[in-house]
Amino acid sequence: MQTERLRALLAEVADGRTPIDEALRRVETLPFADIGYAAIDHHRGLRDGLPEVVLALGKTPEQVAEIARAITAESGRVLVTRVEPPHVDALRAAIPLICQDTRARLAWYDAQPQTAVGAVAVVTAGTADIPVAEEAAITAELMGARVGRYYDLGVAGVHRILSRVESLRQANALVVAAGMEGALPSVVGGLVSTPVIAVPTSVGYGASFGGLAALLGMLNSCATGVSVVNIDNGFGAGYLAATINRLAVVGGSGRAET
């Protein structure tokens, strides 16, 4: 929506309907809006392909709702991460048609969803990793990626991942979430030729140290093409995967679907 508004304004200037000084005044309000406790970046979508994402953590329900409402009014879409029930209640009051996923702790609204393109695969080692994986999958979908989900394929039963290799090889980027010792991304990285984004999760027994063991294991992966995001950062992984997918599709060498 930001692009459309900017194009419309430039067209008005070009055909003389809007004076240059008036256009400059209107452009000043386009980049961001200062609402006191937040400076909302309305040009984020122009640069990154997705409007500024709202982290609910540490914000009051009222703050989250007002920020999300302002972003929606400007761009027609919004994504809010790490929401709790009070945030959801406030968001529903502000944006009645907002969607929510309890497992992923996400809330989002998209007035005009994009046509899904390309192929992103989201993989988990276990069922307990699904909340983080869903955060990644929904984020990638909001960015226009076609997403395939492959859950509970951990190395304790390595035949499970081997049975899905051909499907995984069709993806332009893969997100692999694992807790415990975090071995699955290395296995997947050794089986595919496309980028693997490893997500350590805080799933595991005492010596997993809340995901630190998985994080260190992934950072020390001997498989090539494996990058690592922070513990439980499904959002960051999904965003990166969708960005890679978009570049692959635009470049003409990407896969069509998973």
Cα–Cα distance between 50 and 80 in angstroms, integer? Answer: 12
3-state secondary structure of 147: strand
Burial readout 144-153 (b: 16 or more C-beta within 10 A, e: otherwise): bbbbbebbeb
Residues in the chain: 258
At 38, the amino acid letter reads: A
pTM: 0.83
> Which of 58-67, 110-119, 161-170, 209-218 comes out lowest in average pLDDT?
110-119
Q: What angle do CA 171, 160, 226 make, to 5 degrees?
A: 45
Q: What is the pLDDT of residue 112?
A: 82
Predicted confidence (pLDDT) at residue 33 exceeds the cutoff of 90: no
Cα–Cα distance between 35 and 43 in angstroms, integer? Answer: 16
pLDDT tens, 115-157? 899 999 999 999 999 999 999 999 999 999 999 999 999 988 8
Predicted confidence (pLDDT) at residue 256 exceeds the cutoff of 60: no
Q: What is the pLDDT of residue 18?
A: 85
Predicted confidence (pLDDT) at residue 29 exceeds the cutoff of 70: no
Ordered structural domains, the chain, with CATH: 31-110 (no CATH), 117-251 (3.40.50.1970)
The residues, ordered by sequence, that sit 6+ positions from 195 with a Cβ below 8 Å of its Cβ are: 173, 174, 225, 227, 241, 244
The residues, ordered by sequence, that sit 6+ positions from 183 with a Cβ below 8 Å of its Cβ are: 125, 155, 217
Predicted confidence (pLDDT) at residue 5 exceeds the cutoff of 60: yes
Going by pLDDT thresholds of 50, 70 and 90, the confidence category of residue 114 is confident
Going by pLDDT thresholds of 50, 70 and 90, the confidence category of residue 38 is confident
Q: What is the pLDDT of residue 7?
A: 76
Percent of the chain whose pLDDT exceeds 70 = 86
Q: What is the pLDDT of residue 2?
A: 57
Residue from 121, 140, 119, 142 nearest 239 by CA = 140
Q: What is the pLDDT of residue 19?
A: 87
The whole-chain average pLDDT of the chain stands at: 89
Task: Report whether 20 contacts 46 (CB < 8 A).
Answer: no
Dump strand ranges (E) for the chain: 32-34, 39-41, 54-55, 77-81, 99-101, 106-110, 117-124, 145-150, 173-178, 196-200, 226-228
> Which of 43-47, 111-115, 242-246 comes out lowest in average pLDDT?
43-47
Task: Report whether 101 contacts 130 (CB < 8 A).
Answer: no
Q: To the nearest 10°, the Cα dihedral for 2, 138, 83, 96?
A: 60
Q: What is the pLDDT of residue 89?
A: 96
Q: What angle do CA 104, 112, 88 make, to 5 degrees?
A: 35
